[in-house]
């Protein structure tokens, strides 16, 4: 009998159970595919009701946070299931009853950035890079289209979503995407937790999180449904979306026909 594949996510309690640690564990790319999304969803579901939980720290093994979602899972016939699972995870993160801190090194792109955006404050190494490159493949970033305007101005969100360019952590901090820069972002996030979250009542903190995020979650649920329909019914019916994805997989330059 074949041995089961190792989990793409490491999960463990910290600070006597006050902090849940989640670590993407498939370096160097830490691709957010179905297995990774499922592991994150299962971890959040398993610890949602933990008494005394005052925070989550999401970070990644290796030099990069995540290169993004699986391009193969974006292909026609597979993308509906991929979007449904990713957006369910995004909602679970936004509705989680404790702050989710995120520590980023290296590349944080595409679906990886969407997951980071669904958390709370982002702590980043100075050399970290943030971007939504989906437009370069002839598609767009559904969840980021809803999440980025929570963090940055409409103009900054449109720039990242329409250009597909990446920005360095100092610029990401300047526009409000990153909360703090640190040589060791995990240590910075832990220090934030120890000073600002660990001393609080978990019951009060859960209510404070809900107070801020419930209206956003309501808006996000509707927004995700709308962008899913746009993606599946309109975008994936275009020739260029399918060409762009195929070109990426074939490692060639896409030939756009603008239809």
Nearest residue to 105 (alpha-carbon basis) of 130, 132, 124: 124
What is the pLDDT at residue 6? 84
Q: What percent of the chain has pLDDT over 70?
A: 98
Nearest residue to 54 (alpha-carbon basis) of 92, 113, 13: 13
How many angstroms separate the first and last alpha carbons of the chain?
48
How large is the average pLDDT for residues 72-80? Answer: 91
Cα four-point dihedral sign 99, 133, 161, 256: negative
Residue 3 has pLDDT above 90, yes or no: no
Rounded CA separation 169/253 (Å): 28
Instruction: Provide the mean pLDDT of the chain.
Output: 96
What is the pLDDT at residue 24? 98
- By mean pLDDT, which of 2-6, 82-86, 145-149 is the weakest? 2-6
Q: Is the separation of the CB atoms in 189 and 59 below 8 Å?
A: yes
What is the pLDDT at residue 103? 98
Rounded CA separation 221/90 (Å): 10
Provide the token pair at 113.
């950035």
Q: Give me the domains of the chain, ranges plus CATH numbers.
A: 1-183+203-259 (3.90.226.10)
pLDDT in tens, 168-216: 999 999 999 999 999 999 999 999 999 999 999 999 999 999 999 999 9
Instruction: Give the start-end residues of each E strand in the chain.
Output: 9-14, 19-24, 55-60, 100-104, 107-109, 122-124, 129-131, 166-168, 180-181
Q: Is the separation of the CB atoms in 98 and 209 below 8 Å?
A: yes
């Amino acid at each position: 009998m074949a041995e089961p594949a190792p989990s793409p996510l490491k999960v463990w309690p910290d600070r006597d159970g006050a902090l849940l640690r989640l670590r993407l564990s498939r370096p160097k790319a830490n691709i957010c595919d179905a297995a990774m999304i499922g592991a994150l969803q299962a971890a959040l579901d398993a610890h949602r009701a933990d008494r005394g939980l005052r925070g989550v720290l999401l970070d990644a093994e290796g030099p990069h946070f995540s290169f993004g979602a699986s391009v193969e899972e974006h292909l026609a016939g597979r993308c509906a299931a991929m979007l449904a699972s990713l957006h369910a995870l995004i909602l679970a993160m936004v509705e989680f009853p404790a702050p989710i801190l995120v520590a980023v090194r290296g590349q944080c792109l595409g679906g990886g950035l969407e997951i980071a955006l669904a958390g709370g404050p982002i702590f980043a190494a100075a050399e970290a890079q943030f971007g939504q490159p989906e437009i370069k493949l002839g598609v767009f970033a559904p969840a980021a289209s809803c999440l980025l305007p929570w963090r940055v101005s409409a103009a900054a969100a449109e720039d990242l979503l329409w250009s597909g360019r990446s920005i360095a952590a100092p610029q990401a901090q300047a526009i409000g995407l990153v909360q703090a820069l640190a040589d060791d972002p995990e240590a910075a996030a832990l220090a934030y937790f120890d000073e600002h979250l660990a001393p609080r009542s978990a019951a009060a903190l859960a209510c404070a999180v809900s107070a801020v995020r419930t209206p956003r979650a309501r808006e996000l649920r509707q927004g995700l449904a709308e962008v899913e329909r746009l993606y599946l019914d309109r975008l994936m019916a275009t020739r260029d979306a399918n060409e762009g994805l195929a070109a990426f997989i074939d490692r060639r330059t896409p030939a756009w026909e603008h239809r």
